[in-house]
Amino acid sequence: MLNRSKLMPMIYELVNNDKNFLNNIKKYLHNAFEEYKKIQGNEEELIKKIKDSNTSWLTAIPIENFSSIKPLPSVPVNYSVLAVDGSQIMPDHHEIRICYLINIGYVILSYGQNSYATMNSIPTLFYKEEELYKDTNGYKTFITQKDLSFKRTIMEYNKIFECISELDKDISMAFIDGTLIEWMVQGDENESIIISSILKTFNKAKELNIPLVGYLSSPKSNDFINMLRVCICPSKAVNCNTCSYLKSGNNLPCNKISKINDSDLFSIILKDGERSPMFLSTSHILERYGEHKIAFFYMNTGSEISRIEIPFWVTEKSELVDFIHAACYDQAKKGKGYPISLQEAHEQAVVSGNDREMFYNMLSNICVKNGIKMSRSYKSQRKRSGIL
Amino acid sequence: MKHIGEIIETNTKMFECQSVKLDESPDFGGFVKVISNDMTIYGIVFNICTMSEDITRKPVAFGLTEEELRRQQPQIFELMHTYFKVLIIGYKKEGYRGILPPRPAKIHSFVYDCEREDLIDISKDLNFLKNILNGQTGIEEELVASVIRNLSKVVLEKDCYMITVGKELIRLLKNDFDRFLTIKRMCKI
């Protein structure tokens, strides 16, 4: 039980802290905007400085001019979009059987003439020894939440691979909820297996000329701000490891914009429907992506700044970039702030608390019918009904 | 014969169906039948509604024509269904009887429109009038009037039939003349 009277003072403290932060953020935003204006027209110089820099944070590389803020292109009437999302029932040691379920939801929405909607979800149950345990340096260990989420990611991409050829409009795209940059995979023992299975879908999408698009709502990324920090740095060759300001104990010059992220800044730069220039991500995991390096831009959807990620080959086809720009805006408008296709894919994928209960009840009923005795752990039973 | 709906809730007195197609249901007061177990169960449609399949998701107004909506938001037509409720009035097993069947219709059975021969069978047994007037639907007068209007179109001797039905209604509503007059007024064909 939550002790409300003890919690309340902490909530007040949090709100006060936020109030102070909001007062400060205006100052940071002003500094960042001034810096942004300064670098326009000096892109070449900046790109060179970024490439020569050695920073402790990720810095985006611009692939379009800074001044090229693009207005909303006309939204096509006829287009189709595939969106995929997944969710899972985690393995629970206190339940009647250790197993897990991954549910992949997908929708194909086709607009304009001969419009249609396909919506479905596919559950997969994992229960075999080799699906529950993995071999770590000779030890048998239970799979982690991270392993399961990688498995889910692969299944989401596989679903796109399966469905992508069904898109029948001349212009179409495949939506992923969140980033296309699987930075979480970096350093995992299965890194190369995971990335190579995902890249199959990237290859197929390129072959069919259908862009894979990652949509990030209210992104917390700060690749662009980091870029501005490089500009601010008075050192000619930026090297954070040998930063003289750090050693002398002075305030870092680049700290004057450090408290804000990219979407804070773009919310004052971009007007409704506009998009930022495109940038190339320098995330280390992309070294594994080969020709499918990920580029991104920010867009004002009218309700928020979202980050749109696309494979690099798409950036070379301006008509495709315009289509993605317009379609993402249209999707967000149709969904009243968040792309409708991603919302519906989520609705298809989501496994509610009731669904989870139903799953375990089905499992236990079928086991009992087959003469297998089942029991939940005492902990689980006691969680369901306390003793008075 | 193509089915028009499927039973999703059922009990002794009535059943609820999901229409095969959105916005396509039998008319209010229309007759439907379902072949369930070893008999055919007959009923009258008394409530039709179209709503979201998920009770937590309420439809919102878009201010678009249906055509525009289909082009711009095709998914919403997949997430809504038309439902109709049917009051059971009789069943057929070696001949039609205007009484409740011994067992309710089975869930997930298909529901079909009644044919002319079915309606002629139903018209001969006036028990359905009492069944409707028993007050399970909340719109008894409207429903009786609608059913009578529908049956009068298929019976051979229409005037004669209307007199018989009128007499039965007088018998059932002898203590409620106002109600009888309301139904009579609504039966004007």
Is A111 an 8 Å CB contact of chain B? Answer: yes
Phi, psi at B24, each rounded to 5°: -120, 105
- Which segments within chain B are labelled E, that is strand? 5-10, 14-19, 31-36, 39-52, 80-92, 96-97, 110-113
Question: Are the beta carbons of B73 and A334 separated by less than 8 Å?
Answer: yes
What is the torsion angle, in degrees rounded to the nearest 10, for the CA atoms of residue A68, residue A69, residue A74 and residue A77?
110
- Give B-chain residues touching A347 at CB under 8 angstroms: 54
pTM of structure: 0.84
Give yes or no for B63 touching A (CB within 8 A).
no
A221 part of contact set with chain B, CB < 8 Å: no
Q: Report which of A241, A285, A258, A219 is spatially closest to residue A35, judged by C-alpha positions.
A: A258
> How does residue B189 score in pLDDT terms, banded at 50, 70 and 90?
low
- Residue in chain B closest to A345 (alpha carbons) equals B75
Of A204, A103, A213, A115, the residue nearest A163 (C-alpha) = A204
Partner residue facing A340 (CB), from B54, B70, B75: B75
Determine the average pLDDT of the residues in B152-165.
92
Beta strands in A233-378 (DSSP E): 279-280, 294-300, 305-311
pLDDT at A350: 95
A-B interface: how many C-beta pairs under 8 angstroms? 29
Is B71 at the interface with chain A, CB within 8 A? Answer: yes
Residue A339, judged by CB atoms within 10 A of its CB (0-12, 13-18, 19+), counts as: buried
Instruction: Report the relative pairing of strands A80-89 and A172-177 from DSSP bridges.
Output: parallel
From first to last of its 388 residues, chain A has per-residue pLDDT tens of: 899 999 999 999 999 998 888 888 888 889 888 888 888 777 777 788 888 888 878 888 888 887 789 999 999 999 999 999 999 999 988 888 899 999 999 999 999 988 999 999 999 999 999 899 988 778 888 999 999 999 999 999 999 999 998 887 779 999 999 999 988 888 888 888 999 999 999 999 999 999 999 999 989 988 888 888 888 887 777 887 777 777 766 677 788 887 888 999 999 999 999 999 999 998 888 888 888 999 999 999 999 999 999 999 999 999 999 999 999 999 999 999 999 999 999 999 999 999 999 999 899 889 889 988 777 777 777 777 777 7
E strands present in B20-164: 31-36, 39-52, 80-92, 96-97, 110-113
Look at residue A57 in the predicted model and tell me its pLDDT.
80
